[in-house]
């Protein structure tokens, strides 16, 4: 990823986090985790070659009451993201999208 693109994404994520977490008590902010990996497909062997597990990386994960919130900042929805969102939903996990 281009460093400028990476920085822009970080700025968007930080801005969204501050907006989205504004109603969350400060005591909970320390529990916010960034760039959390979720395995969406286990490692497999295809035509005799090992293929690694596939992951979805969430921008933020935090607890709201007793519920775990998985949050992602999205400028636009890519085909790759839609597939990952689908696989996360198949595991019973919902992604909250912040624009």
Confidence (pTM): 0.70
Q: pLDDT tens digit string along 29-67?
A: 667 888 999 999 999 999 999 999 999 999 999 888 788
Place of tokens 């989205």: 20
pLDDT bucket at 16, cuts 50 / 70 / 90: low
The pLDDT of residue 20 is 58
Q: Which domain holds residue 30?
A: 3-98
How many domains does the chain divide into? Answer: 1
How many CB atoms are closer than 10 A to CB 49? Answer: 7
- Residue, of 25 and 85, whose pLDDT is higher: 85
């Amino acid at each position: 990823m281009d460093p400028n693109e990476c920085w822009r994404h970080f700025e968007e994520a930080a801005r969204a986090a501050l907006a989205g977490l504004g109603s969350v008590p400060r005591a909970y902010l320390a529990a916010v985790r960034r760039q959390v990996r979720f395995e969406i497909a286990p490692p497999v062997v295809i035509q005799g070659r090992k293929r690694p597990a596939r992951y979805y990386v969430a921008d933020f994960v935090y607890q709201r009451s007793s519920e775990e919130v998985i949050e992602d900042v999205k400028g636009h929805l890519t085909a790759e993201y839609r597939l990952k969102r689908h696989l996360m939903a198949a595991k019973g996990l919902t992604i909250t999208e912040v624009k």
